[in-house]
Every structure is written in structure tokens, then in C-alpha cells.
Chains A and B, each alone.
Chain A
Amino acid sequence: EDQVTQSPEALRLQEGESSSLNCSYTVSGLRGLFWYRQDPGKGPEFLFTLYSAGEEKEKERLKATLTKKESFLHITAPKPEDSATYLCAVQAGGYSTLTFGKGTMLLVSP
């Protein structure tokens, strides 16, 4: 059974204090790893897809990396508007089905 574990559950940062979120996965035949951002009262918003170990993608202050066992979402010099819950999901084996982690709730204080 595919498993996705995100850590920490919650993270509080000061504005400008860089950090990383972790997504560990156990799947058979990874087809893709997805990062989403979810604001309160909203649906998840797509950020990145990573397909193979060693791949990296960047968007503004966010950088996602992938190894054979985990993915990191690095947040450089975060701002209060980066506060949200970040979700990780994997696609493996079955076509299109995603398995999600519980998410990391990030709060960035000014």
C-alpha cells in the first residue's frame, strides 16, 4: 500500500527565516510526486510535479527536490503570504490516482 508521510505537522517561522518541509513516501513504481498549497477555505492549488530522483523545480521562494525516498520543499526567506498548508501527493502504479499526505501547516509571522 502506498504511503505518504509529511513532517513536521506544523511549522512556525519568522519572516525571512528559511526552512524545509519533508515528504517521505513508500510506493511501488513512482510515476510522479506533486506539491500543492492549500489556503483556509480554498481547494489545493498545484505547485510542482517531480518525476525522478535528482529533479528540482523552483517557483519564487519555493524549491522542490526529489530523492528515491523523499521530497523536500525548501522555502527561502518566507513572507507572511506564504502561510498555508502544503500538501504532498504521489502517483504510482494505478493511472491518475493520487495518495496524499496529511500536510504541513506553515505560519510565517511578520
Chain B
Amino acid sequence: ETGVTQTPRHLVMGMTNKKSLKCEQHLGHNAMYWYKQSAKKPLELMFVYNFKEQTENNSVPSRFSPECPNSSHLFLHLHTLQPEDSALYLCASSQRDRDNQPQHFGDGTRLSIL
């Protein structure tokens, strides 16, 4: 496998369910990111992890809980979501210690909240 892999690709869940999104990067990067992409809106940064440590949380509601067990894996745990949370959730990675390196994205998880 190469690049950034996200699973599942599609997820439908009720507002009371608990589920997790998974991201794995095979690029040897040391920074990972979660973004939310909604129609007609720019990509919204949710969380940033550098060397497994969370360095940014852009005022994301607590119903979204990230986990980064190592530099290659990132999870987003979901619980008690709202209909407005339906969106494409994208994971990205980059090489943190090299200035201005681009972020590389996975193909996302399309999340639908019933």
C-alpha cells in the first residue's frame, strides 16, 4: 500500500451510535491531520498531530475524539453526532520537520448521519 489510506470509505450512522474512522499513512511522515469537507465550504482543519502529540484542536465539539497511537495511524472516534456533521472527512499527512512540505490526502470517509 502507498500513500494515505482511509477506512471506511462510506459510513451511515444514527445520532446515538459510536463509530471510528481510521487513517494510515505509508509515506514516513510525522505529522497527521483531520479535515472536514462540506459542500460549498472550504476544507476545515479539525486536529493536528505532530510526532503523535496533538498540537491543534480547532474548537471541534467533544463528540469528535481523535487518537494517534503512532506516527503512521490516526483515528477519529465519533459519538452522539448531529445531522450537520454529515460531510467528507479527510485525513492528511506531511513531513513536519521540513519547512513548507505539502500535505498528502487520503480519499476520505463520506459520513452520513441519520
Interface residues of A, Cβ cutoff 8 Å to B: 4, 31-32, 34, 36, 41-46, 49, 51, 87, 89, 91, 95-103
Contact = CB atoms under 8 A, between A and B. Distances in A.
B94 A87 contact: no
B90 A96 contact: no
Contacts of B94: 96
B53 interface: no
Nearest to A89: B43
Task: Name the interface size band of chain B.
Answer: 20 to 34
Contact of B4 (A31, A41, A43, A51): A43
B85 interface: no
A43 B105 contact: yes
A100 B42 contact: yes
B31 interface: yes
B28 interface: no
Contacts of B92: 43
A45 B48 CA distance: 19
A26 to B, nearest CB: 14
Nearest to B40: A102
Contacts of B103: 34, 46, 96, 98
Interface in B25-48: 31, 40-43, 45, 48
B43 A43 contact: no
15 contacts: A31-B99, A32-B100, A43-B4, A43-B6, A43-B106, A43-B107, A46-B104, A49-B102, A51-B100, A89-B43, A96-B94, A97-B48, A98-B103, A100-B43, A102-B41
Given A4-B42, A96-B31, A102-B42, A31 B100 contact: yes
A49 B45 contact: no
